[in-house]
């Protein structure tokens, strides 16, 4: 069976990507029905027992910036080895809530870790591996802040300032411009029905 496809959902906290993840998975699964392929849904940080342990630490414990980035990539290496690569080799499709673009956006853009350090880790952990498609849910930071304030108790990233999220959003958009052939940008300030019409087009194209 031909290799599967790897699709990632990205966006700053409050952009609304999680609202659409399971719906998108269902749409993909319906399209793949009868082909012998499955849709594997996962997340970062996380996706494996080790990754989930690291996720709890990363989202809740204060730490040095470089430690944070190294742990993100350690969880990612395990994720690739144990979940993503085996699924793609089987011919399954993988849908992930965040991947490396999030590390560039949050640890690079938001926290200010030099890009060359992240690029070195990216080459080491992934080689040239990248998603087949990244759907970026883009939203003004003030709108995202309003949404976050109405959600559950925030983790350490969700508690960051609007200035932090402005830098994070800017880095997401820079990454999208740099790799325009794999990014699809969704204006997630639009109503849910409008967004899902756009996502239906994405599924059809895939």
Asked whether residue 52 is domain-assigned, the answer is: yes
Q: Which domain holds residue 120?
A: 6-205
User: Is 116 annotated to bind ligand?
Assistant: no
Residue numbers of the chain with a pLDDT score lower than 70: 150-152
User: Is 11 annotated to bind ligand?
Assistant: yes
CATH code of the domain containing 170: 3.40.50.300
Asked whether residue 1 is domain-assigned, the answer is: no
Number of structural domains the chain divides into: 1
User: Is 4 annotated to bind ligand?
Assistant: no
pTM more than 0.85: yes
Q: What is the pLDDT of residue 152?
A: 64
Asked whether residue 165 is domain-assigned, the answer is: yes
Q: What is the pLDDT of residue 52?
A: 98
Q: What is the pLDDT of residue 139?
A: 94
User: Is 14 annotated to bind ligand?
Assistant: yes
Closest of 141, 39, 152 to residue 96, by C-alpha: 39
What's the pLDDT tens digit per position in 147-181? 777 666 778 888 888 899 999 999 999 999 999 99
155 CB-side CA count, 13 A: 11
Q: What is the pLDDT of residue 146?
A: 80
- Under DSSP, the state recorded for 139 is -
């Amino acid at each position: 069976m031909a290799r599967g496809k790897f699709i990632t959902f990205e966006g700053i906290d409050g952009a609304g990507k999680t609202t659409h993840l399971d719906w998108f998975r269902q749409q993909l699964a319906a399209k793949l029905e009868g082909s012998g392929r499955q849709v594997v849904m996962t997340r970062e940080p996380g996706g494996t027992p080790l990754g989930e342990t690291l996720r709890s630490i990363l989202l809740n414990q204060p730490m040095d910036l470089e430690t944070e980035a190294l742990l993100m990539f350690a969880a990612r290496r395990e994720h690739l080895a144990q979940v993503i690569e085996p699924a793609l080799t089987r011919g399954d499709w993988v849908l992930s809530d965040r991947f490396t673009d999030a590390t560039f956006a949050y640890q690079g853009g938001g926290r200010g870790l030099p890009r060359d350090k992240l690029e070195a880790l990216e080459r080491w952990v992934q080689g040239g591996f990248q998603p087949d498609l990244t759907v970026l849910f883009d939203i003004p930071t003030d709108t995202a802040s309003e949404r976050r304030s109405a959600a559950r108790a925030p983790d350490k990233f969700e508690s960051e300032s609007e200035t932090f999220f402005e830098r994070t959003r800017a880095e997401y958009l820079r990454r999208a411009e740099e790799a325009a052939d794999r990014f699809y940008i969704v204006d997630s300030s639009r109503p849910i029905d409008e967004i899902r019409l756009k996502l239906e087009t994405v599924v059809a194209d895939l």
